[in-house]
Amino acid sequence: MELKKSLSDLVFNKGELKQHVYAATKETFELFRTTTREIIDLFKQERQINGKDVRFEFTDRGDFEFEVKFAGDVLIFMMHTNVFEFSRNHEVMKTPYIREDPKRSFCGVIHIYNFLADSFLYQRDNDLGYMIGRVFVNMDKHYFIEGKRELGMLFNNFNTSLITNESVQSIVESAIEYTTNFDLLTPPYDEVKLVSVGEMRTNFNKKSMVTGKRLGFHFQADTD
């Protein structure tokens, strides 16, 4: 019995490509981890100098996740362990950069989520968080970001954007800036005017009452 060369080439070439993409994404994620920790340390130094009562915390949550807390917010960075390709209808597939070499369309993904710090502190399991951006990294460490405002508009040149210390610092700072400006809005009255007896008896402030920065609003409107 012999393997068909076309099958052998497909399996080995695709497997090697995915390994390269995974390695590039993991290296990028570690750079995000190191850079974010350094930025939080700088904030702590500024706090001591200025005497401001604002807490900053960095917490490792495993090989593929870390979080930072600041000014009542939490940012969670998570790396997916799999490699993805964009759908044929995605805009990035129409660019000359991908058409020149289709292997460039295979990417690892780093997600950036925003939650309220009180949601974790008071174990409000029903509270909502928001993905404010996801970073796509290919085998050559080119990247772009799908996201909200600062992130989505500033980091979308896949063909020219490279992962460097400076670019990662800029992404993290933009994520912190966006999160700080992304304020908690009072939900529409009709969304919260009814509370059941059961919710009240089970302490609705902790469990049943859902809190989110745009609860009752269309989050997509933030891109306008």
Q: Angle 61-66-68 (CA atoms, 0-180°, nearest 5)? A: 120
75, 58 contact by CB (below 8 A): no
For 54-117, the three-class secondary structure string (H helix, E strand, C coil) is CCEEEEECCCCEEEEEECCEEEEEEECCCCEECCCCCHHHHCHHHHHCHHHHEEEEEEEEEEEH
* 175-198 tens-digit pLDDT: 999 999 877 666 666 665 666 666
- DSSP three-state, residue 139: coil
* 130-160 tens-digit pLDDT: 899 999 999 999 999 988 766 655 667 899 9
95, 138 contact by CB (below 8 A): no
Q: pLDDT at residue 201 above 90? A: no
* 85-120 tens-digit pLDDT: 999 998 889 999 999 999 999 999 999 999 988 888
Q: pLDDT at residue 217 above 80? A: no
Domain boundaries, the chain: 5-183
Angle separating helix axes 165-181 and 5-50, nearest 10 degrees: 60
* 69-84 tens-digit pLDDT: 998 999 999 999 999 9
* Structure tokens given for 116: 């309220």
Q: What is the pTM of this model?
A: 0.84
Listed residue (81, 107, 90, 101) closest to 163, CA to CA: 107
60, 79 contact by CB (below 8 A): no
Rounded Cα distance between 85 and 100, Å, is 16
